[in-house]
Structures are given as C-alpha cells and as structure tokens.
Structure 1
Amino acid sequence: MALYSWYKSKRPGDNRTERCLAEDKAVVYSVEEGSGLENVPLIAQPVRNTSRPDMEKVTVPDRNGDQITLNLKAGRLWPMTMEHVADVCGFTARPDDVFLCSYPRSGTHWVSDLLVVLISNRLQLQTALKADAMLEYVGCDHLDTKPSPRVINTHLNYHLLPKDVFQKQCKIVFVYRNPKDVALSYYHFIKERKHYGYNGKFPAFLELFMEGKVPYGDWFEYMQEWNSVIEEGRPCQIHIMYYEQLKQHFLREMSRLCSFLDLTRSTEFLEEMEKLSSFDSFKRSVDAQFDNSALDEWKGAPQFIRTGVVGDWKNWFTVALNEEFDELYQRRMKGSCFNFSYETDFTESV
C-alpha cells in the first residue's frame, strides 16, 4: 500500500479524488499497487505525513517531467516563500485598512503603488516592495508595525481573508486581468526564480495552470468565488478594477478609485500619477525596490516586472493551445460576470 496526499487527479470519474479545496484539508488515500490508480498523475509526490501542521515540501511535475517545487498545506499549494499563511486568521484589522486582492500576476504591484500614491497624496512611488505589506508573506506582527492607513495586499482566496477585515468593514480593491496574460506572466515569474526549480516549456506549464497545479491554486476557482461575492452582494465594501481598462483609461479608473476611497484628487494630480506610473518609470521604481529591499531573499532577484502589455499571450499560444484554453474557460466560467479582453485595443462592453 502507498500513501498519497491527493489534491486533484486528472482521472475522470474517480469519485475518491474529492477536491480538497472544499474542506481546506489534505485528503489521504490508500492505493493498492496494481490497481492502476498509483499511476494517475498526482499534484504532489508521495509524502509520509499529511497531518503535520507545518508546510510540506512537494514537487509538481508537468507532462514532460519538469517539476515545480512548492509548499503544500491544508490541501493547498503555496509558494516556497510563504511562511505566515497560518498566521492570517489572527490578523487584527484597522477600520482604515485598504485590502488589495488579486490572483498572482494580475497587476497587484502596480495597483498597490497607485493606492499608496493616492492615499498618501504624494507623487512618489513606493520605496518598499509590495511583499513588505503582503499579508501571508510578512505575517501579522510585521504588519502591526505599519502606520495607518495601511495598504495590505494578498493573493488569498476571498473565504481565507481574516474575519476581522469584514468586522472592521475594511475597503477591498479587487483587481483582475485576462487569464491568458496571467498564465504567461506566471510562467516567466516561476521559471526565473530558482527556488521553484522549474525549467519547463510554456505549453506544459499552461497545462499545469489550467489544472490549478500552480502556487495559490486554481485561477478558475479563485475567480468563481469572487464572481459569487460580487453577484450576491456580500456585506463588504468592494471596488472592482480590470487591469486592461486601467491600462487604457487610466484617468477614469483613478477617478473611480478616488470616489471609492472617499478621496479628492485634482485632474492635474491624476495626470502626474499617470506619468509617474508609466511602464518604464514603474519598472525602474520596482528594480530599485529590489535593490534596496530589507528582505534578503528578494535582493538580486530577477526582474519582477516583465512587459506589462495586453495581448502578449498571442506570441506564445498556438492555435491548438488557444482553442483548448477557450473551451476550458467557457466550461468553467459559464455565466460569469467578468468581461475579459485579450487584445491591446478593445471596445469596452457596457
């Protein structure tokens, strides 16, 4: 008999491979050798003890055998650098906190800097890394030292946000981006960081992304949950920002954000913000943040900001990959309230 921590199987019709996300815990199965199930592609290599409270280091193989090294905790995949995931439940919010929520590689760093500029009323990009105010990365004790008002960012799913965020009625800014560019950006991000140990090709990585076998898990489930939150009108203050619209209609989107935050900023101020946050200026700022980071693991790290353009996925998706992705999207996101654009120039739907 072999013991496996089983997050998700590609094998259709296997009722034993229940999704762990529903219960936030790992599911363990005893698999008989010779049953055929031991050869089902797993999200993680066999582990001895899935009940340990700490992180379990796992490797996630793609179809070619190239592996991503990740952490597994409570049935979820996390980046190797996340050490404070278990601390977030005890987070103490403040009423003037602003929470920035997004799936990875969706424009979080850019919008985080914009929020700081707006709230501080100073035309100066951050000198500290986004990670310095990332809930699950730095932990509660570190965030407690931050002066108010705080801009706190996270990639956690909605239902994993600390309860105190809702009890204190904190404002939440939710940012999303078209998933094809997200997948491509995630591929480069993971491949360029040594701690992931991944050297695979993009088509194989895209398959992992589509199956949710990446840090923070399934993009589709993440977006489905936010879709439910938005459509059901949950009792919280949420402002929705679409990355592509922010790129195309910066002044309009910043005006909307100001209204949500109860801020008054002049048109001239927002125009200067637009110049300040242009791609070249923003990339230089982020590069400087890495060079000056107090977080040792980020010093000398490869580029965090790649191109920031809309539609770069076209240079990487084959016709077959695009068709496969579109079919999955239509199936998983049917009836969604989200409207995505995959082009550089697009007409906004009403």
Structure 2
Amino acid sequence: MASFVTPDDMPGIRNMEVREDDVILTTYPKSGIPFSSQDRFEQSSQLLENPAWIRGVGKSYEHVATMPSPRLYKTHLPIKFLPKQIWEKKPKIVYLARNPKDCLVSNYNIFKSDIHPLEWNEAFDFFISDEINYGSIWDHQYGFWKHRNDDNFLYVDFADMKKGGSLSSAITEVTRLSSLKEMKAIYARLEDELGDKGKLLTHAAGILPLLYQGTVGGWKNIFTVAQNETFQKHQEMIIKDFDEEFRKKLNTG
C-alpha cells in the first residue's frame, strides 16, 4: 500500500457500512477517474484509504460514513480490500482500466514529486517490481475484470472512453465532461476557490499537476525497444493463467 495507509486503516475500510445506493469509483493509481463537476470532485476527492486532510481530521472512510445518500466515493484498493458489505449491499462499482504502459508513464510523472524523485529507468523497474504501491496492475485489473458481468459492476476501458463513438447521449455527455479540457477547468476553479488547499487536490504533494496529457499510447514516446520487450515478457508471465479474453485485450492495447 501507499505510505499513508496504516495497518489500522484496512479493518476500518473492510468493516465500513456500505449503502445500496453508493457509487464506488475504482482504479489502479493514475488510470484516470473523471469527475463531472467541481462539487462531485471535492465531495469524493479523497480516496477511502487517504487521511481526510481536506476535512481536517480523521480518515476518509470515516468522513464517507457521515455523507448523505447517494454517496460517491473512490479508492485505488484491490478488490479483496474493498468493504466486505459490497457483496451483500451490491452498490454500483465502476472500474476504470488503463493500458499498463500508459499507466506506468503517468505514474512516472507522479514519482517526480517524491522527496527522492525517480529517473525514468528507475520508475520503469519499480513499476514492474513487487514493491509498487497497490501491487501489480495486472492483478488489480483482473480482480475487477472477473466481476465485469455482475449486475452492479461496470468495467470501463480508458481507451474506449476516449474514443467515444456511437454512445448514448448520456454517456457522450459524461465523456465530454471527463475530457482533459473540462477537468483542467474544474481543477483551475478549485485552485481559485480553495487556494493552497485546492492546489493540494490538483497537484501531487502540492507540486506537480495531477493532470497531464491524458492520451492513449503515449508510452511509445518514452519506452525503448528493450524496455518494451522487457515489459511484454513480464506482462505475459503474470497473465499467463488469466482468461483468454483478458489476455487478448491487454495484448492488443
């Protein structure tokens, strides 16, 4: 887990009350959770596993307990660490998956804000190691993928969201509001209205902006040929026992 997650947080999250009308947004870090309005962003800006610093005290999962229904909240936790009541209460769970290579590049930009910033080659090695925060992206995605056909689960691919295409008018509007342009506008308003606290919401450690290009396939601009081969071999090793549809989806990304 990330350094701000303590051993005491996990039972607190696992045992928290879930409501049937909850909407839980889930992703691996830096996969791109969209927000359609400033209110929604600020309401759910804290991960369940984060300290609730925007509210001053406590933990975010404790703050979520005080929110009126319907609640919208988010987490980067693997599915096995989500509140146990999701299987009983069956809230809506939306999982946003992203090409692991693009996710690595986006994480690299965040690694730059660390006290000891990682160079690209170091970030590459760290991402495919056993030490990466929240564990393997492949295990993380597959845990939710296996439930994609459950009535209360929606598994969304970042690349498909970017394409848009022949979607319903409602989804088209969500896609528009989730665009990098719209999200940057929301971030700018947060910084104007909340000052330094707003910048802590929109920048990693208050320094580097959380929003970058938001593109698909940007990894091609930074991966070397050798790194791509290493990454592919590592990916194949991890997903070799996953179902064929998931493996095919990853290998065409």
Normalised by the length of structure 1, the TM-score is 0.59
Letter of the 1:96 partner, please give it. D
> Which residue does the alignment assign to 1:64?
none
Structure with larger RCO (C-alpha < 8 A, sep 6+): 2
Distance change in 2, residues 1:226/1:313 (3 Å): same
Q: State the SS of the aligned residue for 1:280.
A: helix
> Which residue does the alignment assign to 2:56?
none
Alignment check: 8 A CA contact 1:311 1:342 kept: no
TM alignment of 1:203-242, pairs within 5 A: 203-230=121-148, 237-242=152-157
Correspondence for 1:314 among 210, 217, 220: 220
Distance change in 2, residues 1:130/1:202 (3 Å): farther
Deviation string, structure 1 residues 218-266 (Cα, Å, up to 9, x no partner): 2232234334445xx6x662111000000002662xx4xxxxxxxxxxx
Distance change in 2, residues 1:324/1:270 (3 Å): closer
> Aligned pairs, how many?
234
| Bigger proportion of residues as helix | 2
Alignment check: 8 A CA contact 1:174 1:239 kept: yes
Tell me whether 163-172 or 238-247 shows the greater mean CA deviation: 163-172
Deviation string, structure 1 residues 259-296 (Cα, Å, up to 9, x no partner): xxxxxxxx3x5555444433222112123335545994
Distance change in 2, residues 1:219/1:225 (3 Å): same
What is the percent sequence identity of the aligned residues?
26
Distance change in 2, residues 1:331/1:272 (3 Å): closer
RMSD between superposed Cα atoms in Å: 2.8
> Which residue does the alignment assign to 1:261?
none
Q: State the SS of the aligned residue for 2:70.
A: coil
> Which residue does the alignment assign to 1:259?
none
Correspondence for 2:164 among 222, 241, 249: 249
Inter-partner Cα distance in structure 1 for 2:182 and 2:41: 15
Normalised by the length of structure 2, the TM-score is 0.80
Distance change in 2, residues 1:98/1:190 (3 Å): same
Q: State the SS of the aligned residue for 1:135.
A: coil
TM alignment of 1:1-350, pairs within 5 A: 77-80=1-4, 82=5, 85-86=9-10, 87-108=12-33, 110=34, 113-114=35-36, 124-126=37-39, 128-129=41-42, 132-137=45-50, 138=52, 139-192=60-113, 196-230=114-148, 237-249=152-164, 252=167, 255=168, 267=169, 271-293=172-194, 296=197, 298=200, 301=206, 302-334=208-240, 335-336=242-243, 337-338=245-246, 339-340=249-250
Letter of the 1:158 partner, please give it. I
Unpaired segments ≥5 residues, structure 2: 53-59
